[in-house]
Amino acid sequence: MEIIKNKEYELLIEDMTVSGEGVGKIDGYALFVKDTVVGDRIIAKVIKVKKNYGYGRLISIIEPSEERVEAPCPNARACGGCTLMAMTYESQLEFKRKLIENNLRHIGGFTDIFIPPVIGMDKPFRYRNKAQFPVGKDRNGNIVMGFYAGRTHSIVPCEDCLIGSNVNAIILAKIKEYMVKNNVEPYDETSHSGLIRHILIRIGFTTGEIMVCPVINGKSLPNEDELIKMLSNLTFEGDRKIASIIINSNTDKTNVILGKTSRVIFGRGYIEDYIGKIKYRISPLSFYQVNPAQTSVLYDLALEYAGLTGSEIVWDLYCGIGTISLFLAKRAKQVYGVEIVPQAIEDARNNAIINEITNARFYVGKAEEVLPSLYENEGVYADVIVVDPPRKGCDEALLDTIIKMAPRRIVYVSCDSATMARDLKYMAEHGYRLEKVQGVDQFPMTGHVETVCLLSRKAPV
């Protein structure tokens, strides 16, 4: 049967992709349809045809799945963020558990490892402590702030994202008021003109401190004192307050959001927050987990898996601002952290000082370069290694060095279970046994899930 572009077809959604798209079949031909759930019987319009598969747009639902709910956000379909919002939360957690299991089975070759239910949230909304809103204009020339539609740079107006804090809408409305009053143009990436590109907002959920960081195509804003007054006078529920306003300059023609230089115009160049009893200093460029409640769950698991007694040497690779490192330092003899971002390492060192932690040392550089160099030249060793890599996983040179160092335990924390499974397979082929796996839902309503794993060194034969 020939599949025709722009024609509508009836199909049953039988599976879902890792990104949350539904998968149905038309006489064996796979069609990927966003905003659908397993069990939905739908009408879809074919929008792209490949040889063995295609993409469709949901036109109508003939019969909804038992796992379907009405998405509470009116922008859910247009926005590219919350791809699972039309699923019950219980179904989301099971989807993520199966995702971890399938990747470990098919990529890692682990066929007998038990994957327990993913640890979810009691209230899976309003959990994000960070948001980055692109700024632009609509067809009528009005300023819009929101998020990009899936696979595009078209802005979907959305100033009050339901997985973000409710302070965001208040702040964005005030910035829009400032822009209109002072004739400040939003950035146009086609012409590389205009001034305000993005608005970054970070919130300390425990401290109540808020950072507002306009990202601009220049070095300064007109009437900055007026913007400072407008923002600093805002009031919020609870004890939340604007503690930091920072101008970040990004004049490059790039999709990268933040530039390399920042200037404080109000308050401090950072905010502070807690995970557990550890205080962290967070600057605009710092990596800091976006869901503090679930981060505490994740790090408690990492600490449990590390099995520290107070005598261990621990290496924390891709350590960011020292979030896991400082958790571990409370129970280890010595912790060493490695991170490529200099500002993050500066924050990590400051975080150690403000928490009066003296047994944590941090190195700037690529983990796949720093650790092999220190191992070859200085003979460093580890009893436990914790690794929390970016989505691409670990470089093979780094894995080789970890294996040579032969730590008793490896704790692998991952935001991508596919690259995790690949790396775990490599370590399993070189003397390590996968002992435990636990998913933690850091990102409800989206297709992403964090996973923490424990590997132990096999006894020599």
* 37: amino acid identity, one letter: V
Beta-carbon neighbour count of residue 186 at 10 Å? 21
For 212, phi then psi, to 5°, come to -120, 125
Nearest to 216 by CA among 199, 230, 203: 199
Structure tokens at 262: 């920042």
Torsion, Cα 256 257 262 267, to 10 degrees, reads: -160
CA distance linking residue 69 with residue 60, whole number of Å: 15
Integer angstrom CA distances of residue 78 from 22, 55, 73, 154, 255: 16, 16, 10, 10, 20
CA distance linking residue 25 with residue 15, whole number of Å: 10
For residue 437, count CB atoms less than 10 angstroms from its CB and return exposed for 0-12, middle for 13-18, buried for 19 or more.
Answer: buried
CA distance linking residue 201 with residue 210, whole number of Å: 7
Is 375 in a helix, a strand, or coil?
helix
Structure tokens at 92: 């989301």
415 labelled catalytic: yes
* 192: amino acid identity, one letter: H
Catalytic residue, from 79, 158, 415, 453: name it: 415
Q: How long a stretch of residues is the chain? A: 461
355 Cβ partners below 8 Å, 6+ apart?
278, 279, 326
Apex 175 CA angle, 174 and 176, nearest 5? 90
The string over 114-140, giving b where at least 16 C-beta atoms fall within 10 Å of a residue's C-beta and e elsewhere, is: ebeebbbbeebbebbbbbebbbbeeee
Catalytic residue IDs: 415
